[in-house]
Chains A and B, each alone.
Chain A
Amino acid sequence: MALSNETIQSELEAKFADQVHTFSTESGILSFESPKEINLKVLQFLYDEPSLGFTFLTDLCAVNYPNNIGAELVVVYHLHNFTENIRLRYSVGTSIAQPDVFTASKLFESANWMERETYDFFGVNFVGHSNLKRILNVDEMDYFPLRKEFPLEDQTRIDKDDEMFGRG
């Protein structure tokens, strides 16, 4: 039986009732959200349930919505079921003041580095991660560069000596 977005949605709703919400389908990929406290339960259910079988974690990253008070950071999981060839997007929001999210690295080995990357750039604290250190940036860094509060250089600044680049 081919697995469809509707089946996934109804199975999730049957299991987690109104804890899973905001279902939508964009360019063929079903996405939904849940409270961050049950993220491992949801991922484990998607992994274990024979009719779902989302055993492949394609991607894990975060997005920073500064105006979304209470859920400024959103961790996004892209899952894939190879046999049914269907993708799924699952996201959990967390406040920036206490960015604790349970780690998925015990379920997916691939989540280990992806979570380290997410921690490095967004400061999401993955609870239970075995080695949550910065990965691409230097260890001494004391800010999280992909957060929106961290600005890019002002393109109109004039205090810089550009002579070396032929612009002086």
Chain B
Amino acid sequence: MEAQHNITLPEGSIEKQTTTLNFGPTHPATHGVFQNIMEVDGERVVSTVQTVGYIHRAFEKLAERRPLYQITPITDRLNYCSSPINNMGWHLTCEKFLNVETPKRVDYLRVIIMELARISDHLICNSIVGVDTGAYTGFLYVMQYRELIYEIYEEVCGSRLTTNIGRIGGFERNFTNAAFTKLEKFLNEYPKVLREFEGLFTRNRIFMERTQGTGGISAARAMNYGFTGPNLRAAGVDYDVRVHQPYSSYQDFDFTVPVGTTGDNYDRYLVRNAEMWESISIIRQAYEKVQAFKGTDAEIFHADVPEYYLPKKEDVYTKMEALIWHFKIVMGEIDLPKGQIYNAVEGGNGELGFYLVSDGGRTPFRLHFRRPSFIYYQAYPELIKGGMISDAVVTMSSLNLIAGELDA
């Protein structure tokens, strides 16, 4: 800095000590459409201003004209790395609002799907942190197990990324044997893969030095910034919606909530890895519980809510009552009760909340999504200030920001 003061700048040139760097909107190091206008001093970030909204699709407005079951596909497109959790969160909100009791088997099947989604979400996040620190192998290696998770979704609902899985009251069809076979294959093979994945990163010198002490945040600041999920737990606050406000029978499962201490990129990585182990254990427990249902109990895959659960197609053609319900649901002749509800689930990257206000019409009067990515991204300038540009990239992927959720 001092040396530069001796230079005589030509007339008209700007005497600015920092460089403005336009990082994004589409930049190979950003995951999705993110833009940051950074002020950098050499390679150090002095300040940054985020621009968001590049893929804003007005979901909240769209939802005001859709009956409940048509809103599920919208929720897919929030955090698309773990769509099933969003779908289930929406169904659970509707069920709580409409006082629908779901059978235990449905709850356990949902837990299996949600925990698979959590694993696939954390897997992407952690392996991408690896990619951003220069280790591509882990990312490519675990992809085949994300693929296996997607195949399980496919067996259950027919689609892979934007799943639209489940219905209000349960699932659209029972799990097939193929789904359970694939789940068993996953449970048998995945722990070994995860252990190898950890072997590649957890005590890797380069990885540790790149992630330790970068992008850190204290617990108090994290709470003030509205952090939830793995990012808050990495800072040392053991808040987990699954434990604090159990939904879908999470109280029946035995699992621990891993926490970190420094809230830096390394702790976030460790917390997510530990959560994957917990998820595997939860899936095992849930699968055991599901297998304990025998005979007709094993055929239950939805609650009895004819007002909201579409009847089977063959029943629509042959039974009067099913035809009536089908007509009423599809034509939107079922009014919601009046009232409002806030319900949250532990999404892939934090507390995913749904605030639903109904005035007694067929569609929500107002629907608001509490999107964790939107809230995390606000803290980004504070997290990367004073660090290197390359660390800013790691911090961004380690926060698990998903553009679809950020912009809604």
Contacts and interface: CB of A to CB of B under 8 A. Distances in A.
Interface of A: 26-27, 29, 31, 55-59, 61, 63-64, 76, 78, 82, 85, 87, 89, 108-110, 112-114, 117, 121, 135-138, 145-146, 152
Given A27-B97, A136-B408, A152 B61 contact: yes
B180 interface: no
Given A57-B226, A58-B226, A59-B353, A113 B97 contact: no
A58 B65 contact: no
A63 B357 contact: yes
Given A58-B353, A61-B355, A145-B61, A109 B224 contact: yes
A59 B355 CA distance: 9
A29 B357 contact: no
B58 A55 contact: no
Interface stretch (B133-141, B308-316, B365-373): B365-373
B378 interface: yes
A59 B356 CA distance: 13
Contacts of B407: 136
B342 A78 contact: yes
Interface in B23-62: 52-53, 56, 58, 60-62
Contact of B368 (A55, A59, A136): A59
A78 B378 CA distance: 18
A27 B378 contact: no
Contacts of B60: 121, 146
Interface string B296-340: 000000000000000000000000000000000000000000011
Contact of B52 (A82, A85, A121, A136): A136
B355 A137 contact: no
Contacts of A82: 223, 237, 239, 244
A29 B342 contact: yes
Given A110-B225, A112-B378, A76 B355 contact: yes
Contacts of A121: 60
B136 to A, nearest CB: 33
Which one of B226, B341, B357 has the highest number of Cβ atoms from chain A below 10 Å of its Cβ?
B226
Given A76-B355, A82-B239, A109 B378 contact: yes
B375 interface: yes
Interface centre among A31, A56, A76, A137 (most CB of B within 10 A): A56
Contacts of A29: 341-342
12 contacts: A26-B341, A27-B343, A58-B351, A59-B370, A61-B368, A78-B355, A82-B223, A109-B378, A113-B374, A135-B52, A145-B61, A152-B62
Contact of B244 (A85, A117, A137): A85
A76 B353 CA distance: 14
A87 B60 CA distance: 23
A20 B266 CA distance: 45
B96 interface: yes
A22 to B, nearest CB: 13
B181 interface: no
Please provide the 8 A-B residue pairs with the shortest distance between their CB atoms, ordered closest to farther.
Answer: A110-B226, A136-B53, A61-B368, A136-B56, A59-B370, A113-B378, A109-B224, A63-B366
A134 B237 CA distance: 32
Interface in B345-395: 351, 353, 355, 357, 365-366, 368, 370, 374-375, 377-379
B245 interface: yes
A16 to B, nearest CB: 22
B64 interface: yes
A31 B370 CA distance: 18
